[in-house]
Amino acid sequence: MKTFILAPDSFKESMSAEQACQAMQRGIQHVYPDAVCISVPMADGGEGTVDALVAARQGRKVTIEVSGPLVDYKVQAYFGLIENDQTAVIEMAMANGIHLLEKFQRNPLLTSTLGTGEMIKAALDFGVSKIIIGLGGSVTNDGGSGMAQALGVKFLDAQGQEVALGGSQLDQIQTIDISGLDARLAQTEIVIASDVNNPLCGVNGASAVFGPQKGATPEMVKRLDRNLAHFANIVESELNISKQDIAGAGAAGGLGFGLMAFAHASIQSGVELVIQETRLAEKIAQADYVLTGEGKIDFQTKFGKTPFGVAQVAKRLKKPVIAFAGVIGDDGIDELYDLGFSQIIGINPPNIDLDNAMKNAERHLEDAVVAVLNKLEK
């Protein structure tokens, strides 16, 4: 009897990590009807992080209404509670994610992380001692200022008036009043789960690298970068806190910076955190094969993406890893075979159109698993 560990991330816009696990299991049981399949849905700090940790740790979900990326409307979101309700797990994208706005609505001069701060506040109301915050998938570029405002920080202009929300207003800030900052943060461990290591500003910073996908024009990118630099300088002069150059400060439009500056958060690789919290190594130790995957595998995979993180654990334990992807990039794939991957398999039939591929992803993944395992049998 063979044992399989199923540890995929979501396949963006086509199936969740949980659905990918189910498709993999159907494929395995077609070839090995009596196989033991252990599903460990994965994430790297973005979409699916809450679901992955709640599932792995037998937690629960709390649904709340919070401010969306544009604060003239509310969104339904949820966060997880694990470890006997002592740890909360939050995805910032639930409140302030890019998927919440149509393309024409996306404007990082206006979007805000206020809703993320409201989620943190709601988690604190449950008396948690630790909060894990995943930073993937944002549509914001406000340095975490909105998050801080939701938790009681006041950003004041030269006239002593509170500055409005959004990345466009950061250059107006002259003083910072933290006297109203939620005191519970000081007793709460805040851990950032991020899949990027960008600094706050500059050519590799939040605005330059991620601003365009959030709707920023080249002129807006320059303005946003200047504003974030001004914000960081004010934080340093007012609070004697300098976090702008730390790897990951630029995650989620600078929310990484804001969480480190105002909530004294630590930061770590999202996939490593999920691997640790799901106890993946213990599970892989008993496996004959490890299956992983996500929507795209390419040269970027080795920079902390889920399949790479899974492959590193499996390599350490000398277990074969088969990765499945909707799209396999042309560059850097050969290198992945030296880094722990046994096979990398595209799930789509040849010459398929994108719409068909997305709609039938589960069936294609199931079929790809069957095809690979049948070859292993021979």
Dist CA 89 CA 79 (whole Å): 6
Q: What is the pLDDT of residues 19-77, one digit of tens each?
A: 999 999 999 999 999 999 999 999 998 889 999 999 999 999 999 999 999 988 899 99
Q: Please report the pLDDT score of residue 287 as a whole number.
A: 96
Please say if the pLDDT value at position 235 is more than 90: yes
Contact present, 314 and 284 (Cβ < 8 Å): yes
9 and 102 part of one domain = no
Number of domains in the chain: 2
Dist CA 33 CA 36 (whole Å): 9
Contact present, 324 and 291 (Cβ < 8 Å): yes
Could you give the 3-state DSSP secondary structure of residue 179?
coil
Q: What is the pLDDT of residues 311-368, one digit of tens each?
A: 999 999 999 999 999 999 887 788 999 899 999 999 999 889 888 999 999 999 999 9
140 and 59 part of one domain = yes
Q: What is the pLDDT of residues 138-184, one digit of tens each?
A: 999 999 999 999 999 999 999 999 999 999 999 999 999 999 999 99
Write the DSSP symbol of residue 73.
S
Last residue of some domain: 244, 271, 298?
271
Rg (CA), the chain: 21
Structural domain boundaries, residue 11: 3-40+280-377
CA contacts within 13 A on the Cβ side of 7: 32
Q: What is the pLDDT of residues 261-293, one digit of tens each?
A: 999 999 999 999 999 999 999 999 999 999 999
309 and 168 part of one domain = no
Give the CATH number, domain containing residue 241: 3.90.1510.10
pLDDT-derived band at 378, boundaries 50, 70, 90 = low
**What average pLDDT does this structure show over 76-84?**
97
Dist CA 331 CA 299 (whole Å): 6
Please say if the pLDDT value at position 259 is more than 80: yes
286 and 225 part of one domain = no
Helix/strand/coil percent split, the chain, to 5 = 45, 20, 35
The reported pTM is 0.91
Q: What is the rounded end-to-end Cα distance, in angstroms, of the chain?
A: 17
Give the CATH number, domain containing residue 329: 3.40.50.10350
